[in-house]
Amino acid sequence: MKGFLVIGILAWGAMILEQSRPAVLPAGAVLLPLVMISMLWNRTAGGIFAGGVVLILDWIARPQGIPLLPVVLTFAATVLLVRTASDPWTGTEIRQPQFPEWIQPTILVVIAILVSTGPTIVTQRSSLADALHLIRSYAMVSIPLTVLMTGVMKLAAEFGLRRVS
């Protein structure tokens, strides 16, 4: 419950920042890294669900096309976190290839940026330069923030503030 409350408060702050400074912080530039880290913090189903709910609430507040982000990102996070898959026929467990933990948030944020900007680029038929500019405006904020928060997440694990399974 405390975790949900913390995610809620942080998401509220991120949305306020984005609404207050739209020229510098495009919608989602701060929120997406925050949600990705919250999904991967405890690596539990609860974290993924909370992140998905925050993305849904963000879409309700600022709808952009259809709500692809919650579905795509919770799916991607689940795929990254599920370490093993069971063969339904033989019952044997198959170990899936895993990305290192430190790069997982960045992968999710890159997916999030592409899903956020993709529909706009396609519907507005933007030129390559415009599309790159749009992607860059997100990446310039989101990726450094994600790297920073990944560092915080690793530090929290080192100091015993985060449960690592």
Partner 1 sequence: MWTAFAGVLLLTIVITTAERFQLLSGLRLSINDALSPGRFVVAAISGKSESVNVPVGTDSALAPQLQDMEQQRRALIIENTQLHNRLQRLSASKGHSLQRVPLVGFDVVSAQIISHYGMPSCLRQAMIDAGRVHGLRRSELVLDATGTVLDSGIRNGVTDGRPVLAGSIVVGRIAQAGRWVSQLVPVTDESYSARIQLIRHSAGGTQPGAEGMLEGTGDSCRISGIADVASVAIGDEVFSADISGLSGPCLYYGTVVTADFKSAAGWSVFVKPAITLSEVDDVAVVVPRLNADRISGGDQPTTVRRIQ
List contacts with partner 1 (CB under 8 A).
Answer: 12-13, 15-17, 19-23, 27, 45-46, 48-49, 52-53, 55-57, 59-67, 70-71, 74-75, 78, 81-82, 119, 123
Provide, rounded to whole angstroms, the least separation between the CB of residue 62 and partner 1: 5
Residue closer to partner 1 (CB basis): 81 or 156:
81
Going by C-alpha positions, the residue among 12, 1, 11, 19 that lies closest to residue 37 is 11
The rounded distance, in Å, linking the Cα atoms of 165 and 48 is 15
| Burial of 105 from C-beta contacts in 10 A (0-12 / 13-18 / 19+) | buried
Residue closer to partner 1 (CB basis): 107 or 143:
107
Residue closer to partner 1 (CB basis): 74 or 150:
74
Provide, rounded to whole angstroms, the least separation between the CB of residue 128 and partner 1: 21
Provide, rounded to whole angstroms, the least separation between the CB of residue 19 and partner 1: 5
- H or E stretch covering 94: strand 93-95
Going by C-alpha positions, the residue among 52, 148, 68, 147 that lies closest to residue 113 is 68
